[in-house]
């Protein structure tokens, strides 16, 4: 098992991301954005420079945090654009030596009343995801679907639907997302989802774990993020459940304390971003140590 992180929360530039990773003594990052642009949207020259820097620094990419079919992409958009991004991702992941990519299942379709539409175009989503997963699988790459605010994250039944239809699809379990995501299978006001139930139902298909501690007020929709173990989502108990089950994958921190990738209104100084990222990482390490976790391959 290894420890990793979305180091773009500590700094926009790759140099900052490498520096904070080395300061932690970690050997891995979950590569997502450089200078606030997803790595799959960089031009070839810029991406090659990033790959070379990571290699020179001795830092590996355990998973690529792509924007493929994510919450910012509509199922009504032209699929050809997604296919081009998939092809580009395969080439870039080969260069990085990375065999896992985070994807989603396109944005939820909402009506003018703010409620999810009855017709979410599920068949088209599944058709596209089958193509996406097949392309990556043919290249030896595993797709992991994140339990986030996208179609597959609307409810546990939506997640199960994807797994039933797409055998190649695996799951990414973000520990904080259930407490931040409405369960649209329930009546309004939609309650938050249950992380323990998610693990219980889907652990056989979970291949990757993100570490976050947060909570959404179901009445107001306001989100709050916390240092690990300081929020109401029972992170320590979730981790204990995961470890006791024999999980052998990586853990990637995604603090959302000083900056939130999908919310540009949450901003902090460069110094504060780095400080909070390191504090989150150290508290997570302490929590894991308490749970008698011993990292085998992840430290310098």
Please write the tens of the pLDDT for every residue from 215-229: 999 999 999 999 999
Quick check: 299 pLDDT over 60? no
Write the pLDDT tens digit of every residue in 223-254.
Answer: 999 999 999 889 999 999 999 999 999 999 99
Write the pLDDT tens digit of every residue in 141-175.
Answer: 999 999 999 999 999 999 999 999 999 999 999 99
Contact 51, 94 (CB under 8 A): no
Give the containing element (helix H, strand E) for 14.
helix 14-24
Quick check: 300 pLDDT over 50? no
Q: Which residues pair with 299 in a beta bridge?
A: 26
Q: Which domains does the chain have, with CATH numbers?
A: 3-290 (3.20.20.150)
Write the pLDDT tens digit of every residue in 38-60.
Answer: 999 999 999 999 999 999 999 99
Radius of gyration of the chain (CA): 18
Closest CA to 69 of 40, 48, 37: 40
16's CB contacts (< 8 A; 6+ apart) are: 7, 10, 270, 274
Q: Which residues of 233-266 are buried (b: 16+ CB within 10 A; e: fewer)?
A: bbbeebbbbbbeeebebbbbbbbbbbbbbeeeee
Write the pLDDT tens digit of every residue in 9-39.
Answer: 999 999 999 999 999 999 999 999 999 999 9
Model pTM? Answer: 0.94
Which pLDDT value is given to residue 1? 77
């Amino acid at each position: 098992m290894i420890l990793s992180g979305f180091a773009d929360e500590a700094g926009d530039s790759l140099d900052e991301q490498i520096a904070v990773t080395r300061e932690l003594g970690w050997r891995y990052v979950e590569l997502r954005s450089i200078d606030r642009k997803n790595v799959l949207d960089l031009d070839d020259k810029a991406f090659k420079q990033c790959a070379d820097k990571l290699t020179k620094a001795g830092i590996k990419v355990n998973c690529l945090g792509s924007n493929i079919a994510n919450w910012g992409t509509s199922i009504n958009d032209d699929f050809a654009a997604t296919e081009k991004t998939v092809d580009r991702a395969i080439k870039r992941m080969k260069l990085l030596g990375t065999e896992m990519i985070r994807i989603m299942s396109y944005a939820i379709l909402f009506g003018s009343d703010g409620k999810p539409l009855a017709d979410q175009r599920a068949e088209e989503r599944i058709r596209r995801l089958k193509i996406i997963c097949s392309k990556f699988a043919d290249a030896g790459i595993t797709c992991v679907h994140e339990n986030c605010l996208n179609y597959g994250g609307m409810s546990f039944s939506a997640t199960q639907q994807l797994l039933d239809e797409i055998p190649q699809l695996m799951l990414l379990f973000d520990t904080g997302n259930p407490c931040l995501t409405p369960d649209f299978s329930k009546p309004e006001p939609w309650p938050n989802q249950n992380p323990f139930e998610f693990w219980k139902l889907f652990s056989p298909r979970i291949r990757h774990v993100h570490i976050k501690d947060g909570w959404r007020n179901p009445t107001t929709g306001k989100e709050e993020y916390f240092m690990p173990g300081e929020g109401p989502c029972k992170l320590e108990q979730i981790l204990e459940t995961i470890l006791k089950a024999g999980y052998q994958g990586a853990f990637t921190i995604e603090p959302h304390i000083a900056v939130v990738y999908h919310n540009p209104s949450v901003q902090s100084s460069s110094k504060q971003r780095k400080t909070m990222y390191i504090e989150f990482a150290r508290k997570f390490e302490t929590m894991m140590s308490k749970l008698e976790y011993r990292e085998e391959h992840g430290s310098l």
